[in-house]
Amino acid sequence: MTDVTRRTLFGTTAGLAGAALITPALAAAGRQEPQALRGSVQDGKVSLPPLHNPSELNGTVPNPMPSGRRLGVAVVGLGTLALENIIPGFGEATSVRLAALVSGEPDKMRTVAAEHGVPERSLYTYEDFDRIRDDPDVDFVYIVLPNALHADFTIRAARAGKHVLCEKPMAASVEQAEAMVEACRAAGRRLMIAYRLQYTPEHRTIIEMARSKAYGDVRLIEAVNGQNDAANGQWRQIRAMSGGGSLPDVGLYCLNAFRYITGEEPVEVTGQITRPKDDPRFREVEDIALFTLRFPSGVVAQGSCGYSFHESRWLRVQAETGWFGLDPAFGYDNLVVDINRKAGRASATEMRRFTPKSQFAEEMDAFAASLNANEEPRTPGAEGLQDMRVMAAIYQSAATGRPVAMPVAMPAASGLDVTRGPWPKALGPFVPA
């Protein structure tokens, strides 16, 4: 009897070209695969049965929307983040597609457009960006520019009738961030800040464990996020472009995590910064920032960040009967959840790894889900604006040497997550299965 394998089924020049030939081939081999194992289609979605027992991980079919139903995105700025992470993320996204590019470098833009099938009519310079109002293929723009340019292009996009997804930090100053929120409100457009980690299953797991008190009350949260940057004069080392050094770039991840893990807003902030005198990287911006946030529940959070030490990105939540966190915590991939607790006479550490997926695909799909539902995004402008205010307080404390009391973020609101929108229902439950 001839064995039927992928090689014998599909390896010839003719290829046994259709799926219809599989059944006769199996029959010839004296076997018949159950019909149920071939999957089914319902409500426009393909489903396949699991191949492994429940003790094993079983994947799910992505089921992307047809291209014509996906929201079109214009990527504004073609720097490292856009080219290495955001644009490749469209390949894993299910609800959005790359529809347009905006750049000040025409040769680079045309090269990228050719690689990804973006037509010439959908290429824009910074000067003629406002023409995008007449482009029906663009539903929202994704701003990936130096921080000081976020406000200008957010305001222009909103006036052009486009929704906005803007990279963090939201802006280079509190005043710029406030102007962005107001412009989108006045234009009736949605504004989402690209806090990618709030959409990942790893960080949602940490939030759920903290909020559910899985290991008792949270007492202390600690985080470090730093790297050793080259002394190449990049825009992050120019205050007029960045608004600051390591704090708004990588320290922001720590303080934003403190806020979304607790769901609270800090009532007091303290901060310290360093600027080595003889290092050209820090002529205008800080190197290391240390900060402490105190929350109404009594939780204390301590964060540190820097531009002059070897890459270190970790987060730990200290609770009454155990600790849990991530190491690495803030990168683009390979995030790992660690949990430590008492187990009899021993101390047990559990590790959780989720199936990798582009964080940029996750956040873009989340924005699309909010737009399709006509809801405020999970991380709207109010979320970014509050972080800008907290960072301003950290700088103020560092300058004065005294703690800074924080005003209530939204006086009319009460409870948790007052600066966040609802979790998009189309993404399924907030807590990862």
pLDDT, one tens digit per residue, over 192-206 is 999 999 999 999 999
Residue 13 has pLDDT above 50, yes or no: no
- How far apart are alpha carbons 259 and 37 in whole angstroms? 45
Q: Class for domain 198-355+381-409+418-426, per CATH?
A: alpha beta
The average pLDDT across 389-411 equals: 90
Query: What DSSP line would sit under 370-410, residue for residue?
Result: HHHTT---SSBHHHHHHHHHHHHHHHHHHHHTS-EEPPPS-
pLDDT tier at 11, thresholds 50, 70, 90: very low
Return left, alpha or beta for 401; rule: phi > 0 is left, psi -120 to 50 is alpha, else beta. left
pLDDT, one tens digit per residue, over 105-161 is 999 999 999 999 999 999 999 999 999 999 999 999 999 999 999 999 999 999 999
Q: What are the boundaries of each domain within the chain?
A: 1-33, 67-194, 198-355+381-409+418-426
The average pLDDT across 47-56 equals: 79
Please tell me the least confidently modeled range out of 15-24, 286-295, 334-343, 354-363. Answer: 15-24
Residue 299 has pLDDT above 90, yes or no: yes
Active-site pick, 124, 142, 168, 199: 168
Percent of the chain at pLDDT > 90 equals 82
Residue at token pair 């005198």: 277
Are 46 and 63 in contact, with CB atoms under 8 Å apart? yes
Residue 21 has pLDDT above 60, yes or no: no
Residue 14 has pLDDT above 50, yes or no: no
Residue 293 has pLDDT above 50, yes or no: yes
Instruction: Provide the pLDDT for residue 25.
Output: 60
**What CATH homologous superfamily does 67-194 map to?**
NAD(P)-binding Rossmann-like Domain (3.40.50.720)
Mark whether 168 is an active-site residue. yes
Please tell me the least confidently modeled range out of 123-127, 158-162, 234-238, 405-409. Answer: 405-409
Instruction: Provide the pLDDT for residue 10.
Output: 43
Residue 30 has pLDDT above 80, yes or no: no
pLDDT, one tens digit per residue, over 166-183 is 999 999 999 999 999 999
10 Å Cβ neighbour count for 321? 11
Closest CA to 264 of 39, 420, 108: 420
Residue 321 has pLDDT above 80, yes or no: yes
Residue 58 has pLDDT above 90, yes or no: no
Q: What is the largest CA-CA distance in the chain?
A: 85
**Global pTM exceeds 0.75:** yes
The average pLDDT across 68-74 equals: 94
Residue that wins the pLDDT comparison between 128 and 14: 128
Instruction: Provide the pLDDT for residue 16.
Output: 43
Instruction: Provide the pLDDT for residue 363.
Output: 98
Are 40 and 68 in contact, with CB atoms under 8 Å apart? no
pLDDT, one tens digit per residue, over 334-367 is 999 999 999 999 999 999 999 999 999 999 999 9
Are 150 and 337 in contact, with CB atoms under 8 Å apart? no
Instruction: Provide the pLDDT for residue 75.
Output: 98
Most confident of 8-22, 29-43, 218-232: 218-232
- How far apart are alpha carbons 198 and 274 in whole angstroms? 29
Residues recorded for the chain: 433
What is the side-by-side order of every strand in the sheet holding 71-76? 123-124, 96-102, 71-76, 140-143, 163-166, 191-193
Instruction: Provide the pLDDT for residue 43.
Output: 75
Burial class (CB in 10 A: 0-12, 13-18, 19+), 402: exposed
pLDDT tier at 37, thresholds 50, 70, 90: confident
Query: Can you name the residues that pair with 341 across neighbouring β-strands?
Result: 322, 348
Q: What Å distances lie between residue 172 and 130, 148, 165, 168, 239, CA to CA? A: 22, 5, 16, 10, 9
Active-site pick, 142, 253, 260, 395: 253
